[in-house]
């Protein structure tokens, strides 16, 4: 069976940070502590890693991936 991939997106631009600060690192650590399990599940589904900015997943996992991405967005709104 041929592998079919689909791209998922949150509709947000990718932001590149030229000088990450200590505060940003602490914010990231807090975010990972808060949403880490959901993010790990999404990472497990990712295909086509590398320099490609698109997140590719198997077409059969598209629904699950989209739901995880929506969950990440909602959970991120509640990060302390």
Per-residue pLDDT of 20-51, as tens digits, reads 555 567 777 888 888 889 988 988 988 876 66
Bigger pLDDT: 74 vs 20: 74
Whether the full predicted model's pTM is greater than 0.75, yes or no, is no
> In this predicted structure, what is the pLDDT of residue 78?
83
Ranges of beta strands (E only) in the chain are 5-8, 46-47, 55-58
Q: What is the DSSP letter of 51?
A: S
> In this predicted structure, what is the pLDDT of residue 8?
67
CB proximity list for 61: less than 8 A, separation 6 or greater: 45
> In this predicted structure, what is the pLDDT of residue 64?
93
CB-based contact 38:71 (threshold 8 Å): yes
């Amino acid at each position: 069976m041929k592998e079919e991939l689909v791209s998922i997106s949150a509709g947000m631009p990718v932001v590149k940070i030229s000088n990450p600060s200590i505060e940003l690192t602490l914010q990231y650590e807090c975010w990972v502590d808060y949403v880490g399990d959901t993010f790990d599940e999404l990472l497990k589904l990712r295909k086509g890693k590398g320099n490609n900015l698109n997140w590719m997943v198997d077409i059969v996992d598209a629904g699950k991936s989209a739901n995880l991405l929506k969950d990440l967005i909602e959970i991120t709104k509640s990060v302390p």
